[in-house]
Amino acid sequence: MDFQRARRALPIVAALLLAACGGGGGSSGSGPAPPPPQSQSYLDPTAYSSAGGASLAQPVETASVTHHAIAVGGTTLHYTATAGHLTAMAPVAGTAEASFFYVAYTLDGAAPAARPVTFFYNGGPGSASAWLHLGSYGPRRLVTGMPRTDAPTPFALVDNAETLLDVSDLVFVDAIGSGYSEAIAPNINRTFWGVDADAAVFRDFVMRYVSVNQREASPKFLFGESYGTTRSAVLSDLLESAGVDLEGVVLQSAVLDYNSNCALVARIIQPCTGYVPSYAATAAWFGVSRPVPADSALPDFLGQARTLASTRFDPEARAALAAGAQPDAALIADLAAFTGMPAGTWQSHFNMAPDFFRYNLLAGMTTGRYDARVTVAGTTPPSGDDDPSSYLITPSFAFRIGDYLANELGYTNPSGYTLLSNAIQSWNFSHDGRPLPDTVPDLAAAFAQNPRLKLLVFDGYDDLATPFFTTERDLARLGGTADVQVRGYVGGHMLYLDDAARPQAKTDLAAFYRRARGS
Amino acid sequence: MAPERCGVALMLAFAAACAVPGAFAAEAKVEVPMRDPWVPPELAKQARVEPASSGAQLRQEVERKLRTRFEAAAGPGGLLTREGARAAGLGFIDRNFDAIDRRHAGRVGYADYRQFLRDRGAALE
């Protein structure tokens, strides 16, 4: 049983202390595959803090190293897991800025120069990478059963048939103040709690990882989720400028322009146009849209919903916001048909916000925000979190991550892993002169410096946090010259938790890497 | 948002079901409810919703970013040497300096950099 497996404690042997000049992975950038390093567990005595004013006195670059094998698609992948810290250094000056906690999975026997390396991180801001780490394309994953809510808890940890490790080495890295990542004095965690400072220190982590592990020649990819896509946009520009060429960037449930999402700005100034097709997708899932499309007809149904949103809802919503104009009765009727929400409700709540939709679509039920297919009876949140698709899975991730690090990866630490810090409450969201970030220009700047760059965008149709049509409209601003692929799936914000969507997305991911590599 | 409450609930969630964890395998902390993306309400009120840039306007915005970064490194004279690029952390310009410096002057202006990007296929004005 996986639960038993997770309990298997590795002997504490010794710490792998990286030489200051690098060499942690011991791999050669251009030579043949190096032998994997020796297994070593690490009892890290440092207590890490997520507090805004916290900092470490000095950097320590230390990691555990363990060896594993999983069966994927009829073959066995032998890999090395490295869990520990690397120090982000200020460019040029070389002063220590922050100590990043990361877990790297590298395929044994692969020549590093030809082997892609992908950096994964969640968002928040303030979130650790544990969601992607234990939920998406790592070598091990939690069985959540989403969107069902009856999977045994804590979720079982199993070998991941959809791991991306067959395609790329994987580095899961925690933002400063999350996981076991912390600023180094004289900086404090809050020094890096802003759009620009966060992206810059992530750049410096990536450069440190590349340098220490001699991965300069390796094709490099970014994989961010939610606020992590905001970070990826800014980070891709900063990395290109610093001379680190990216092959591809994967945006999972993107929020590129905070100003275009009516749930993030006052609705008196922004129409909720981008949400209308997500309402339709959700209504179709619950069978309350008219018509209820068959699975094969869903793309066409959502195409019609996009047209309704952009050509009819949007201009009327703008007129209503500007001058209090009454919406057209035929439009109201069509909105009611597509979304399953009564015409009277559309009449009284024309610029409908996603939280209102979640509380009112199904009588006596609340639907999820991250995944609107997840429902609970009633409308009273149990613990300050009103999203069942979040609070029903969070305890298992919170339970499993520290256990996994300690008992499978040999990294132990006396302090608790911070799955989510409170950084979001004091985050500096300003960027390029706007109070809330618009990072489409950052992506465009990355493309200007690297026209070969490729972008893959994953959307969940039932995601009411970062609606797919908003993302499509934001990306359309890039014009036709940028290489952008958008893929939508029946699923939520974390569509990789869905057992139907994850294999489809993995297939699309593998094709994207092949194309980015020109093979 | 209800900071702190959620974390306490999660800490206790599996205490009974999952006794005897391995060495130091402490429960992860959750300090606020997970709500990504989200901005504090007072900040949401300050947001300015202007028409989002695209086309020529977006290209000008990109150019402004690139030019600002270049000129900050170049200083008042507006010319950048390879060493100057390196000292400013502009590894891209450092790596491509010889191609940017078509006149072999040892120093380049923003126009040289811009031309280099355009020649590589950048969508600039």
Q: Contact A384/B33, CB-based, under 8 Å? A: yes
pLDDT of residue B27: 82
Mind telling me how many Å the CA of A126 is from chain B's nearest CA?
A: 9
CB-based contact A449 B2, cutoff 8 Å: no
pLDDT in tens, A428-448: 999 999 999 999 999 999 999
Helices (H), strands (E): how many in chain B? 7, 1
In the structure, what pLDDT confidence band is assigned to residue A267 with cuts at 50, 70 and 90? low
Residue B86 in contact with partner chain A when CB distance is under 8 A: yes
Helix A227-241 to helix A195-212 angle (10° resolution) is: 60
Closest partner CB to B28 (pick from A398, A407, A435): A398
A96, A89 contact by CB (below 8 A):
yes
Parts of chain B with a pLDDT under 70: 1-26
Residue A369 in tokens: 């925000």
**For residue A489, is pLDDT > 60?**
yes
Mutate to test the interface with B, among A181, A383, A430 (most CBs of B within 10 A): A383
Q: Has residue A6 got a pLDDT over 70?
A: no
- Which pair of structure tokens corresponds to residue A495? 């569509």
DSSP code of residue A75: E
Residue A221 has which token pair? 């990819």
Looking at residue A8, its pLDDT comes to 32
* CA quadruple A2, A8, A13, A14: dihedral sign: positive
According to DSSP, the β-strands at A375-377 and A169-173 are unpaired
- Which among B28, B50, B69 is the nearest to A401, CB-wise? B28
Backbone angles phi, psi at A431, to 5 degrees: -160, 125
| Chain A contact present for B118, CB below 8 A | no
Q: Chain B partners of A406 at a C-beta cutoff of 8 Å?
A: 21-25
The predicted pLDDT at position A193 comes to 98
Predicted local confidence at residue A266, as pLDDT: 75
Subunit contact B35:A387, Cβ cutoff 8 A: yes
Instruction: Enumerate residues 87 to 106 of chain A having a beta carbon within 8 A of any beta carbon in chain B.
Output: 91-92
Angle at Cα A21 formed by Cα A16 and Cα A24, nearest 5°? 35
Peptide bond just before B33 cis, omega within 30 deg: no
Q: Go through chain B and tell me how many residues it has.
A: 125
pLDDT confidence of residue B2: 34
Residues of A within 8 A of B44 (CB-CB) are 264-266, 436
Locate tokens 């180094």: which residue? A184
pLDDT higher than threshold 80 for residue A470: yes
The answer to whether the Cβ–Cβ distance between B24 and A413 falls below 8 Å is yes
Chain B interface includes A380 (CB < 8 A): no
Q: Give the tens place of pLDDT for each residue, A285-311.
A: 999 999 999 999 999 999 999 999 999
Q: Which two tokens stand for residue A222?
A: 């970014």
Yes or no, beta carbons of B123 and A444 under 8 Å apart: yes
CB interface of B with A, residues 29-68, below 8 Å:
29-40, 43-50, 52-55, 58-59, 61-62, 65-66
**What is the pLDDT of chain A when averaged over all its residues?**
92
Report pLDDT for B48: 76
Alpha-carbon distance of A355 to A381, in angstroms, equals 13
- Count of C-beta atoms within a 10 Å radius of residue B104: 6
Residue-wise pLDDT for A177-199, tens only, equals 999 999 999 999 999 999 999 99
Q: Give the C-alpha separation, A193 to A125, whole Å.
A: 8
**pLDDT recorded at residue A493:** 98
Does the beta carbon of A438 lie under 8 angstroms from any beta carbon of chain B? yes
Check CB contact under 8 Å for A391 and B69: no
pLDDT at B23: 41
CA distance A344 to A350: 10
E strands in B3-44: 29-30
- Contact status of A64 with chain B (Cβ, < 8 Å): no
Residue A275 confidence (pLDDT): 98
Using alpha carbons, select from A285, A284, A277 the residue that is nearest to residue A147: A285
Residues of B in contact with A395 (CB under 8 A): 10, 13-14
| CA B107 – CA A318 distance, rounded (Å) | 51
- Each residue of A129-149: pLDDT tens digit? 999 999 999 999 999 999 999
Q: How many whole angstroms separate alpha carbon A337 and alpha carbon A339?
A: 6
Looking at beta carbons, which residues of chain A come within 8 Å of B84?
A: none
Q: Chain B contact for A299, CB < 8 A? A: no
Query: Which helix or strand (DSSP H or E) is residue A119 part of?
Result: strand A117-121
Per-residue pLDDT of A147-160, as tens digits, reads: 999 999 999 999 99
Residue of A nearest to B43 (CA): A435
pLDDT of residue A381: 65
Beta carbons of B29 and A477 less than 8 Å apart:
no
Residue of A50, A403, A417 for testing the chain B interface, max B β-carbons within 10 Å:
A403
Q: What's the token pair of residue A506?
A: 């993995």
Give the confidence band of A26 by pLDDT, cuts at 50, 70, 90.
very low
Instruction: Report the chain A residue with the minimal C-alpha distance to residue B83.
Output: A92
In a 3-state reduction of DSSP, which class is residue A7? helix
Q: Do A405 and B45 touch (CB under 8 A)?
A: no
| Single-letter residue type at B33 | P
To the nearest whole Å, the CA of A95 is away from the closest chain B CA by 13
3-state secondary structure A302-329: HHHHHHHHHHHHHHHHHHHHHHCCCCCH
Query: Is the distance from CB of A400 to CB of A418 less than 8 angstroms?
Result: no
User: Given the structure tokens 């200083």, which residue do they identify?
Assistant: B75
User: Rounded to whole angstroms, how far apart are CA atoms A167 and A245?
Assistant: 19
Question: Using the beta-carbon criterion (under 8 Å), do A419 and B86 form an inter-chain contact?
Answer: no
Q: Which residue of B has its CA nearest to A5?
A: B22
CB within 8 Å of chain B, chain A residues 26-45: 43
The DSSP secondary-structure symbol of A96 reads E
For chains A and B, count residue pairs whose Cβ atoms are closer than 8 Å. Answer: 251
Do residues B72 and B93 lie in contact, with contact meaning Cβ atoms separated by under 8 Å? no
Residues of A in contact with B13 (CB under 8 A): 395, 398-399
**C-alpha closest to that of A335 among A316, A321, A363:** A316
pLDDT value, residue A35: 78
pLDDT of A382-393, one tens digit each?
667 889 999 999
The closest alpha carbon to A307, from A446, A512, A472, A95, belongs to: A472
**By the CB < 8 Å criterion, does A255 face chain B?**
yes
Those of residues 323-352 in A touching chain B at CB distance below 8 A are: none
Provide CB contacts within 8 A for A458, sequence distance 6+. A250, A251, A252, A253, A487, A489, A495, A505, A508
Contacts of A386 in chain B (CB under 8 A): 33
Among candidates A383, A444, A476 on the partner chain, residue whose Cβ is nearest the Cβ of B62: A444
ipTM of this complex prediction, to 2 decimal places: 0.90
Residue contact A243–B5, C-beta within 8 A: no
A181: nearest Cα among A437, A413, A494: A413
Q: What share of chain A is helix, strand, coil (3-state, %, to 5)?
A: 35, 20, 45
Provide the CA B84 distance to its chain's centre, in angstroms.
22
Whether residue A415 contacts residue A180, with contact meaning beta carbons closer than 8 Å, is answered with: yes
Q: For residue A76, give the amino acid letter.
A: T
When comparing pLDDT for A97 and A519, which is higher? A97
Q: Is the pLDDT of residue A11 over 70?
A: no
Position A269 scores a pLDDT of: 83
Indicate the burial class of A54 (C-beta count within 10 angstroms; 0-12, 13-18, 19 or more). middle
Mean pLDDT for the stretch of residues A56-74: 95
**Structure confidence by residue, pLDDT tens digits, A304-349:** 999 999 999 999 999 999 988 899 999 999 999 999 999 999 999 9
